[in-house]
A and B are shown apart, each in its own frame.
Chain A
Amino acid sequence: MSTATKTPARVYDVESLRAQFPILSRTVHGKPLVYLDNANTTQKPRVVIDRDRKYYEEENANIHRGTHWLSEKATEAYEGGRAKVARFLGAASPKEIVFTRGTTEAINLVASSFSQAFLEAGDEILITGLEHHSNIVPWQLACERTGAKLVVVPITDDGEVPADEFEKRLTPRTKLAAVSHVSNALGTINPVKELIAIAHAVNVPVLVDGAQAAPHLPIDVKDLGCDFYAVSAHKMYGPTGIGALYGKAEWLEKLPPYQGGGDMIASVTFEKTTYNELPWKFEAGTANIAGGIVFGVAVDWLTGVGLAAIAAHEHDLLVHATRTLSAIPGLTIVGRAKEKAAVVSFTLDNVHPHDIGTILDREGIAIRTGQHCAQPVMDRFGIPATARASFGLYNTREEVDALAAGLSKVSEMFG
């Protein structure tokens, strides 16, 4: 392993990163916590926790509507958070960043507003076979409302989305394509840049579900060329209840508002309401103010650690985990894409994932078991569920080994 080498510069210091996460020093069922459920949600570093508290202790006020000092401070901090998220994603301007509750709401926003303005009976929305339910159901609802059709690009046995299968399904009726950057169930990293270029060649806009990509890979929406990009702060070492939709300004201008209410309007009379400018047109009601501020802190912290360094560290964990787990008799890894994030979904002969999860839990090891909000993926592989270990920037090879040791206890019990 690289820690054995003697290069002092730019060594990824996982221990000092771990020390910044208070929860990582706790025990569960009397064992040190081994947290391997990062695709579900990540733990929060001290800076994130402290910033949330500071906001409520020193700055709390409503934003965009006060003439008083506190309100100005809160507005500044909230809009500052937006600017940080814009920079993190490589957006051209903060006005291209709409704060939402998370990825789910971001996708619902686009599905709702886009379908209202641009979707008609007989049109098609193109998605892939590895999507999370939150990048399936909003489009199904939009199709139900409009009479449009949902078209699905099938995935391979390795869990990949072949570009030519994607291209084949773009028709003159395709109005939008929605694809995951990284699959939460399989770990597949999709060739989104290539898919976007293919879709744009026939003038089809693309929404990218970036929930699983943003915490693990450097993201640059301008370089990708996507029209929309959705993320959740809680998967990026930030708080729950906040996320962002990046939308190209020209698209956000064209879309009708999502919800109506305060903050999203410029003027209201009973005869006519005019809407606020971007991005506030899409932010009705009092926002998750602390969330926006702390999200900004989280992305700055991530940038400080360095996404390229995180990706390299996690790749090392993936390689180690894949090798270690593959050696366990009866264990099958589901999802073997060539480009993969540090997610290992697996099944164990004769043991249901739920039982694996319970036994590992008593060892202090947190993994997720079940369908991972991706029932069609499970159906595609003909399995009811998987167990999934998903790694984050603070995980270690020793934790991978603890997982392997836990799994041998499982085999022992069910042997």
Chain B
Amino acid sequence: MTELRDLYQEVILDHNKSPHNYREMADASRIALGHNPLCGDKMKLYVRIDGDRIADVAFQGSGCAISKASASIMTDAIKGKTLTEAETLYGQFHELLTGPPDVKADGAGLGKLAVFSGVREFPARVKCATLAWHTLETALKGQQEVAKTE
């Protein structure tokens, strides 16, 4: 159960139950759809960009606890950040998820996102944790197609 507790930390379970920024956004400047065909997760991400800053971000959709919590925590983490800062954060987050499972991740500089450090022990779940970020990438690039984790 210990590894399971590493994966399903309380913070993750809480965000899964009551996700933050879970709403529609009427004045979004970008909307992107994310889809993980393997598990059927679907996500709609709304971003309002003001200059080079993410002024507001919200999401809706259905997914597993990991993908939902990841989206929720991501929206908290990037709100108010510049586009470059968000990109850097994604890079660090990705490293946190895909680093060697035998090395404990420290998650320095990641703030709350560090609760996903247990995911690296569950390679099948990395895609769940990155779906929101893939979708964000699609939204920021202004691409029209659906972001896929496959």
Say if A and B assemble together: yes
What is the interface of chain A, defined by CB distance below 8 A to chain B? 350-355, 358-359, 362, 369-371, 375, 378, 384-385, 413-414
Residues of chain B within 8 A (CB-CB) of A358 are: 4, 7, 122, 124-125
- Please name the 7 residue pairs, one residue from A and one from B, whose CB atoms are nearest each other, closest first: A352-B64, A384-B40, A354-B64, A385-B40, A354-B39, A384-B62, A355-B65
Central interface residue in A351, A353, A354, A378, by most chain B CB within 10 Å: A354
Complex CA–CA separation, A362 to B8 (angstroms): 13
Complex CA–CA separation, A27 to B8 (angstroms): 23
Which of B1, B38, B62, B65 lies in contact with A370, CB distance below 8 A?
B38
Contact A355/B64 with A362-B4, A413-B13 known, Cβ cut-off 8 Å: yes
Central interface residue in A358, A362, A371, by most chain B CB within 10 Å: A358
Complex CA–CA separation, A353 to B16 (angstroms): 14
Q: Is B78 an interface residue (CB 8 A)?
A: no
Write out, one digit per residue, whether chain B residues 1-33 have a CB within 8 A of any chain A CB (1) or not (0).
Answer: 101100110000100110000000000000000
Residues of chain B within 8 A (CB-CB) of A351 are: 65
With contacts A354-B128, A385-B39, A385-B40 known, what are 8 further pairs, Cβ within 8 A? A352-B64, A354-B41, A354-B66, A354-B125, A358-B124, A362-B1, A378-B40, A384-B39
Chain B 27-63 interface residues, beta-carbon cutoff 8 Å to A: 37-42, 62-63
28 A–B contacts from the bound complex (CB under 8 Å): A351-B65, A352-B62, A352-B65, A352-B68, A353-B39, A353-B64, A354-B64, A354-B66, A354-B128, A355-B8, A355-B65, A358-B124, A358-B125, A359-B4, A362-B4, A369-B39, A370-B38, A370-B39, A370-B40, A371-B37, A384-B39, A384-B41, A384-B62, A385-B39, A385-B40, A413-B4, A413-B8, A414-B65
Chain A min CB distance to B66 (Å): 7
Chain A min CB distance to B32 (Å): 18
Complex CA–CA separation, A353 to B1 (angstroms): 18
Complex CA–CA separation, A271 to B68 (angstroms): 62
Central interface residue in A369, A371, A384, by most chain B CB within 10 Å: A384
Residues of chain B within 8 A (CB-CB) of A353 are: 39, 64
Chain B min CB distance to A115 (Å): 26
What is the interface of chain B, defined by CB distance below 8 A to chain A? 1, 3-4, 7-8, 13, 16-17, 37-42, 62-66, 68, 122, 124-125, 128
Complex CA–CA separation, A414 to B16 (angstroms): 9
* A352 contacts B8, C-beta separation under 8 Å: no
Complex CA–CA separation, A371 to B63 (angstroms): 13
Central interface residue in A352, A369, A375, by most chain B CB within 10 Å: A352
Closest chain A residue to B125 by CB distance? A358
Complex CA–CA separation, A375 to B125 (angstroms): 20
Complex CA–CA separation, A404 to B88 (angstroms): 44
Central interface residue in B3, B4, B8, by most chain A CB within 10 Å: B4
Chain A min CB distance to B13 (Å): 7
Chain B min CB distance to A79 (Å): 39
Residues of chain B within 8 A (CB-CB) of A375 are: 37, 40
Closest chain B residue to A359 by CB distance? B4
Chain A min CB distance to B142 (Å): 27
Central interface residue in A355, A385, A414, by most chain B CB within 10 Å: A355
* A355 contacts B4, C-beta separation under 8 Å: no
Chain A min CB distance to B44 (Å): 13
Closest chain B residue to A372 by CB distance? B40
* B37 contacts A355, C-beta separation under 8 Å: no
Complex CA–CA separation, A76 to B65 (angstroms): 54
Chain A min CB distance to B9 (Å): 11
Residues of chain A within 8 A (CB-CB) of B39 are: 352-354, 369-371, 384-385
* B122 contacts A384, C-beta separation under 8 Å: no
Which of A359, A384, A414 lies in contact with B42, CB distance below 8 A?
A384
Central interface residue in B64, B68, B122, by most chain A CB within 10 Å: B64
Chain B min CB distance to A173 (Å): 32
Contact A352/B4 with A371-B40, A378-B40, A414-B13 known, Cβ cut-off 8 Å: no
Chain B min CB distance to A384 (Å): 4
Residues of chain A within 8 A (CB-CB) of B3 are: 362
* B40 contacts A355, C-beta separation under 8 Å: no
Complex CA–CA separation, A350 to B64 (angstroms): 9
Residues of chain B within 8 A (CB-CB) of A362 are: 1, 3-4
Residues of chain B within 8 A (CB-CB) of A350 are: 17
Complex CA–CA separation, A307 to B63 (angstroms): 39
Complex CA–CA separation, A362 to B6 (angstroms): 13
Closest chain A residue to B1 by CB distance? A362
Complex CA–CA separation, A359 to B63 (angstroms): 16
Residues of chain A within 8 A (CB-CB) of B128 are: 354
Chain A min CB distance to B150 (Å): 12
Residues of chain A within 8 A (CB-CB) of B42 are: 384
Complex CA–CA separation, A350 to B38 (angstroms): 19
Chain A min CB distance to B49 (Å): 29
Residues of chain A within 8 A (CB-CB) of B124 are: 358
Closest chain A residue to B68 by CB distance? A352
Chain A min CB distance to B62 (Å): 5
